[in-house]
Amino acid sequence: MYKCLNCGREVKIELKTAKKIICPYCGYRILRKTRPNVVKKVYSD
Ligand SMILES: [Zn+2]
């Protein structure tokens, strides 16, 4: 899981297929890797 530094959304990225890491919500390219023990936040669209 990655977290977009622009919009703050958590993004699930499969590194096997994705060559570029881009936030699907806002298109921002800088995402921070989240740690597995971080409390999960559920976003509803
Ligand atoms: Zn974003």
pLDDT band at 14 (very low <50, low <70, confident <90, very high): confident
| Cα 32 to ligand 1 centroid, rounded to whole Å | 11
Q: Is pTM beyond 0.75 here?
A: no
Q: How many angstroms is it from 21 CA to the middle of ligand 1?
A: 11
Ligand 1 centroid to Cα of residue 9, in Å, is 6
**What is the per-residue pLDDT for 44?**
74
pLDDT digits (tens, 9 = 90+) for 17-35: 557 788 999 999 999 988 7
Residues found in the chain: 45
Instruction: Give the list of residues 6+ apart from residue 33 with CB closer than 8 angstroms, or none.
Output: 1, 2, 3
Cα 30 to ligand 1 centre (Å)? 8
